[in-house]
Amino acid sequence: MSAGFADLGVGQRGRIVGFERGRSSAYRQRLLSMGLTPGTEFEVTRMAPLGDPVEIRVRGFDLSLRKDEAAILKIEASPPPWE
């Protein structure tokens, strides 16, 4: 199930599945260097009222991303632990 950050709420988890094509390879490399690699799981910890920026917890640290930065990531929502 493919999703975007707008589809996830605070406390929900997801997994990075890849990157959108046609975007800046320099910015893609920057995201990779921050630990946002395919297969990495994250949790949404905060979201601004208008959805920009969104804060995620990934690999033990909190990272804030703007909407345009987050749009580069292809993600899928993880089901809640009780399902």
What is the reported pTM? 0.79
pLDDT in tens, 54-66: 999 998 999 998 8
Q: What are the structure tokens assigned to 5, written together?
A: 């950050």
Share of the chain above pLDDT 70, in %: 90
Distance of CA 71 to the CA centre of its chain: 8
Residue given tokens 């809640």 in the structure block: 80
Q: Per-domain residue ranges for the chain?
A: 9-37
pLDDT in tens, 32-62: 888 889 999 999 999 888 778 899 999 899 9
Sign of CA dihedral 11, 15, 19, 25: positive
